[in-house]
Amino acid sequence: MIGESAVMCREQAKGRRVGTGGTAADRGKRACGSENGRSMDRKKSGTAWEAAVAGYLQRAGVNIRERNFRCSQGEIDIIGYHQGCLVFFEVKYRRDETYGTPAEAVGREKQNKICRCADYYLYTHAVPEEQPVRFDVVAVCGQRVSWIRNAFDYRRRGRHN
């Protein structure tokens, strides 16, 4: 288990009582589930899992600088420092492996998009060229968390790494 918010969201999605607010079916869209309380809204679910993963990473020693960094190039879920390295995190959640593992969902096209967004972040934040960077994936499948360090290489424009 990775965090209280993830547990709350999961329990609400199952229609169980959490706190004093009733069930997900009682609260409709205010809960993590959809209007009928049966299936989770993907955006709310993703946000809840990203928050839970952020807590997990902080407890593991990551100094989180930004969450959901957006630019015209795309989005990076979490940006932080870990052991002197600037790390760009992609968080992927899957309820199960029916359609593949969460890590498999971060294919080459998604990796390129993350690298382009990282280029923009590095430029706009005047990060020194010598600053080490890393691209990690945090894959959540059910309640199993896998932090994959150096999940893919940095493909900086104009450079071959």
Higher-pLDDT residue of 41 and 119 is 119
pLDDT digits (tens, 9 = 90+) for 57-80: 999 999 999 999 999 989 999 999
What is the pLDDT of the chain when averaged over all its residues? 75
The answer to whether 119 and 159 have CB atoms below 8 angstroms apart is no
Give a yes or no: residue 82 inside a domain. yes
Q: Is 39 domain-assigned?
A: no
Full domain range(s) for residue 73: 63-161
Compute the residue count for the chain: 161
Taking only the tens place, the pLDDT of each residue in 111-138 is 999 999 999 999 999 999 999 999 999 9
Q: What is the C-alpha to C-alpha distance for residues 31 and 21, in angstroms, rounded to an integer?
A: 9
Q: Is residue 13 part of a domain?
A: no
Under the banding of pLDDT at 50, 70 and 90, the label for residue 1 is very low
CB 51 within 8 A of CB 5: yes
Q: Mention every residue, 6+ apart, whose C-beta is less than 8 A from residue 6.
A: 48, 49, 51, 52
Higher-confidence residue of 152 and 142: namely 152
Is residue 111 in some structural domain?
yes
Q: What is the pLDDT of residue 45?
A: 65
Q: Report whether pLDDT(88) > 50.
A: yes
Whole-model pTM: value is: 0.70
Q: How many domains does the structure of the chain reveal?
A: 1
Residue 91 lies in a domain: yes
Q: Specify if 92 maps to a domain.
A: yes
CATH of residue 145's domain is: 3.40.1350.10
In a domain, 118, yes or no: yes
Is a pLDDT exceeding 50 seen at residue 38? Answer: no
Give the pLDDT score at 25.
36
Confidence of residue 49 (pLDDT cuts 50, 70, 90): confident
Q: Give one DSSP letter per residue of 105-131, joined into a string.
A: GS-HHHHHHHHHHHHHHHHHTT--TTS
The C-alpha atoms of residue 8 and residue 25 are separated, in whole angstroms, by: 14
Residue 24 has pLDDT above 60, yes or no: no
Is residue 32's pLDDT more than 60? Answer: no
For residues 110 and 115, what is the distance between their CA atoms, to the nearest angstrom? 9
Other beta carbons within 10 Å of 54: 22
Give a yes or no: residue 54 inside a domain.
no
